[in-house]
Amino acid sequence: MDKTFSRRQFLRFTALLTFCFPFARDLCFALEKEIGKNDGRFPLTIKILKEAYNAEIIAQKHYGSYCQKALSESYDNIAYLFSALEVSEKIHAENYKKLIRSLGSMLKDPEFSLSISDTKTNLNRAAKNELIKITDTYPYFFEKLSAESLDQAVLYCMYSWKSHKQHEEIISDIKRYSGIFFRPLAKKIEKMRPNYYVCEICGATVDERPKMPCEICNYPLAHYKHLKRPEVIR
Ligand SMILES: [Fe+2]
Ligand SMILES: [Fe+2]
């Protein structure tokens, strides 16, 4: 009889254990650390993947809060955009998390404080941060990753980088309204009926029903998920 305790079996077992005995969580983490121990491969790649993961988590949490702020200011369409970006960032973070764990390294969520302002300021900040990721952060990651050339790491970073380009374009379109007449002009945006779709593989974000396979990862259309509008509670 094969007595090998596979990683998959281990994960199933620990999920069941933590469900039945929540206090066992710490023990499971410790066991997982032992079983999934990194063997020293790809140290620089893991470091960069963790930096990328942190950046995506911080972006995801900010977009979630921007969404709530926009809803509270009655900018429902802008809230919808922020919620789509939140989903996309979560996919990027999950991709990194998967890869970091498969390399046997542990991961901790970053500690940071949210910086939330009014929707006009949040939009400007979002555009600026997306641009920094496109021009600085990801080119830096690509350069560092080239030392160890782990294909999957480069691919996931490429997914994120290209998605951020889409984010920046969509935000910039709306940001054109963020001058001194932001409020009346932003209200015009609220008359539009955007439909956001996000690719669950790469986080590609589009504002209308896609007709072709994903332009970033090339996966079939079925991987695009239509996003519901965030709930308005007033
Ligand atoms: Fe991202
Ligand atoms: Fe995709």
pLDDT of residue 4: 43
Q: How far apart are CA 78 and CA 189, in angstroms?
A: 8
> Does 170 fall in a domain?
yes
Q: How far apart are CA 56 and CA 90, in angstroms?
A: 7
Give me the DSSP letters along 70-85: HHHTT-HHHHHHHHHH
Contact, 71 vs 230, CB < 8 A? yes
Output the CA 57–ligand 1 centroid distance in Å.
8
Output the CA 232–ligand 2 centroid distance in Å.
29
- Name the 3-class secondary structure at 225: strand
> Does 12 fall in a domain?
no
> Does 163 fall in a domain?
yes
Ligand nearest to the CA of 87: 1
- Name the 3-class secondary structure at 166: helix
pLDDT in tens, 122-155: 999 999 999 999 999 999 999 999 999 999 999 9
The DSSP output letter for 228 is P
Output the CA 170–ligand 1 centroid distance in Å.
14
The DSSP output letter for 222 is G
> Does 154 fall in a domain?
yes
**Torsion angle in degrees (nearest 10) through CA of 46, 100, 128, 142:** 50
Ligand nearest to the CA of 203: 2
Ligand nearest to the CA of 57: 1
> Does 21 fall in a domain?
no
Asked if residue 197 has pLDDT above 70, the reply is: yes
> Does 201 fall in a domain?
yes
pLDDT of residue 173: 81
pLDDT in tens, 73-92: 988 999 999 999 999 999 99
CATH value at residue 159: 1.20.1260.10
> Does 73 fall in a domain?
yes
Ligand nearest to the CA of 92: 1
pLDDT in tens, 10-46: 445 545 544 554 444 444 444 444 445 677 889 999 9
Q: How far apart are CA 53 and CA 31, in angstroms?
A: 23
Question: What amino acid is encoded at 138 in this protein?
Answer: Y
Ligand nearest to the CA of 221: 2
> Does 158 fall in a domain?
yes
Contact, 80 vs 196, CB < 8 A? yes
Instruction: Give the position of tokens 């963790």.
Output: 50
Distance of CA 80 to the CA centre of its chain: 16
Enumerate the β-bridge partners of residue 224: 199
Total tally of structural domains belonging to the chain: 1
Residue 197 sits at φ, ψ, to 5 deg, of -125, 140
Name the burial class of residue 189, with classes exposed (0-12), middle (13-18) and buried (19+) by CB atoms within 10 angstroms of its CB.
middle
- Name the 3-class secondary structure at 199: strand
Question: What amino acid is encoded at 196 in this protein?
Answer: Y
Output the CA 57–ligand 2 centroid distance in Å.
19
Output the CA 225–ligand 2 centroid distance in Å.
10
What is the residue range of 222's domain? Answer: 44-226
E-strand ranges in the chain read: 197-199, 205-206, 224-226
Ligand nearest to the CA of 216: 2
Output the CA 117–ligand 1 centroid distance in Å.
21
For residue 69, what pLDDT band results from cuts at 50, 70 and 90?
A: very high
Share of the chain above pLDDT 70, in %: 79
